[in-house]
């Protein structure tokens, strides 16, 4: 065996002198040498670059681009080879990406799932390939919880409740609200709707007069708000948008219709992105509920723990806060996204 090693064809490793030395060595020393080589080799293998696939939904909001940036920069910092895939809002593209990651034999997968349902078949394939799945920012509905390691996300029901409580107080329990929902079937759209409705129902003077999806984008938010203004006009006292991006689109629609956003119509949304703080400083948005997109560090902590066989919490909840217009100018400079 040792002679085999000595006859290794690797010219850079075993020089003729070394070969001679090895042949003349006593067996114990040869074995010790071999042991050292094995240890060095395993240390090298342990240092091998991790390869992680990241299936991102798209770039529909500045929240999402901040999340992408956080995951990419954390991968770079940790020396991880990140395979990034943008699904352009389509679940079928995410499913394709996951299959490609399996074929590439990545070490782990980070998935931001666009919708909640329809993941079982592909996640079963991933599980069969023994690849850990870390869900970021949106949850999924699966009967078999072992199909993913952990979900790192905010509590969207609680965000909806926070927005509802803030608005109920601001409107003094009276008024007509229009709601701009997120992407149909997405966890934050379902849960932000649910949490908000729960609070509004407690106030008989508050009414959600219209509710429609604006797909989490500024353009769609504007378009839907234009339609709301056309049908409800002056009747609208407040807008609840499931994200800031749609609220920013609604602000444009409100201005174009000749109303003053933030004054004639009260607006509350979710995310807490820079653009929302700017709109609050300008007096056009009244409140935003923060939803932190900087998930890179937590995501890679989970990847590393999963690969090391350490226990990982099933649900890592990100903490959120309410920011009102009155504090916007004091905190805007410290905002990281």
Per CB under 6 A, residues contacting ligand GYE are 60-61, 63-64, 137-138, 188, 216, 243, 245, 270-271, 291
Please, what is the minimum distance in Å from the beta carbon of residue 153 to ligand GYE? Answer: 7
E-strand stretches of the chain: 51-56, 81-86, 108-111, 132-136, 150-154, 175-181, 206-213, 238-241, 266-271, 287-290, 315-318, 322-324
**Judged by CB, which is closer to ligand GYE: 210, or 220?**
220
Can you tell me the distance from the alpha carbon of 85 to that of 92, in angstroms, rounded to the nearest whole number?
12
Any residues with CB less than 8 A from the CB of 111 and at least 6 apart, and which?
A: 54, 55, 94, 98, 133, 134, 135, 136, 148
- DSSP one-letter string for 102-128: HHTT-SEEEE--SSSSS-HHHHHHHHH
Please, what is the minimum distance in Å from the beta carbon of residue 61 to ligand GYE? Answer: 4
Query: Does residue 178 contact residue 249 with C-beta atoms inside 8 Å?
Result: no
By CB atoms closer than 10 A (0-12, 13-18, 19+), residue 159 is buried
Q: What is the CA radius of gyration of the chain?
A: 27
Please, what is the minimum distance in Å from the beta carbon of residue 6 to ligand GYE? Answer: 59
**Judged by CB, which is closer to ligand GYE: 64, or 220?**
64
Please, what is the minimum distance in Å from the beta carbon of residue 63 to ligand GYE? Answer: 4
**Judged by CB, which is closer to ligand GYE: 102, or 277?**
277
**Judged by CB, which is closer to ligand GYE: 68, or 325?**
68
Three-class DSSP labels, 243-286 = CHHHHHHHHHHHHHCCCCECCCEEEEEEECCHHHHHHHHCCCCC
Please, what is the minimum distance in Å from the beta carbon of residue 211 to ligand GYE? Answer: 17
Report the DSSP pairing between strands 322-324 and 287-290: antiparallel
**Judged by CB, which is closer to ligand GYE: 60, or 107?**
60
**Judged by CB, which is closer to ligand GYE: 243, or 286?**
243
Q: Which two tokens stand for residue 224?
A: 């839907």
Backbone φ and ψ for 331, nearest 5 degrees, come out as -110, -10
Q: How many residues are there in the chain? A: 337
Please, what is the minimum distance in Å from the beta carbon of residue 40 to ligand GYE? Answer: 45
Please, what is the minimum distance in Å from the beta carbon of residue 273 to ligand GYE? Answer: 8
**Judged by CB, which is closer to ligand GYE: 137, or 165?**
137
**Judged by CB, which is closer to ligand GYE: 176, or 252?**
252
Please, what is the minimum distance in Å from the beta carbon of residue 67 to ligand GYE? Answer: 8
Can you tell me the distance from the alpha carbon of 193 to that of 211, in angstroms, rounded to the nearest whole number?
9
């Amino acid at each position: 065996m040792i002679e085999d090693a000595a006859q290794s064809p690797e010219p850079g490793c075993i020089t003729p002198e070394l070969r001679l030395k090895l042949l003349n060595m006593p067996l114990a020393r040869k074995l010790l040498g071999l042991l050292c080589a094995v240890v060095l080799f395993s240390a090298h293998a342990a240092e091998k670059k991790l390869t992680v696939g990241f299936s991102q939904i798209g770039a529909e909001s500045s929240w999402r681009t901040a999340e992408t940036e956080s995951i990419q920069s954390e991968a770079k910092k940790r020396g991880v080879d990140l395979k990034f895939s943008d699904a352009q809002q389509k679940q079928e593209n995410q499913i394709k990406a996951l299959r490609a990651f399996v074929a590439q034999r990545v070490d782990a997968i980070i998935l931001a799932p666009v919708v909640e349902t329809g993941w079982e078949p592909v996640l079963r394939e991933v599980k069969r390939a023994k690849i850990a799945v870390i869900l970021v920012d949106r949850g999924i509905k699966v009967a078999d919880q072992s199909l993913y390691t952990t979900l790192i996300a905010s509590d969207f029901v609680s965000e909806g409740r926070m927005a509802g409580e803030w608005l109920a107080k601001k409107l003094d329990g009276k008024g007509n609200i229009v709601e701009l929902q997120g992407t149909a079937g997405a966890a934050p759209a379902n849960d932000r709707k649910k949490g908000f409705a729960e609070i509004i129902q407690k106030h008989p003077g508050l009414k959600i007069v219209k509710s429609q999806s604006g797909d989490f984008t500024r353009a769609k938010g504007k378009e839907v708000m234009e339609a709301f203004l056309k049908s409800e006009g002056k009747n609208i006292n407040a807008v609840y948008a499931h994200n800031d991006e749609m609220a920013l689109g609604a602000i444009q629609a409100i201005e174009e219709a000749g109303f003053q956003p933030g004054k004639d119509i009260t607006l509350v949304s979710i995310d807490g992105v820079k653009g929302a703080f700017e709109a609050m400083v300008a007096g056009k948005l009244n409140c935003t509920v923060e939803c932190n997109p900087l998930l890179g560090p937590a995501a890679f902590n989970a990847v590393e723990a999963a690969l090391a066989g350490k226990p990982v919490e099933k649900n890592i909840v990100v903490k959120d806060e309410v920011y009102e217009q009155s504090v916007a100018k004091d905190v805007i400079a410290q905002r990281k996204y």
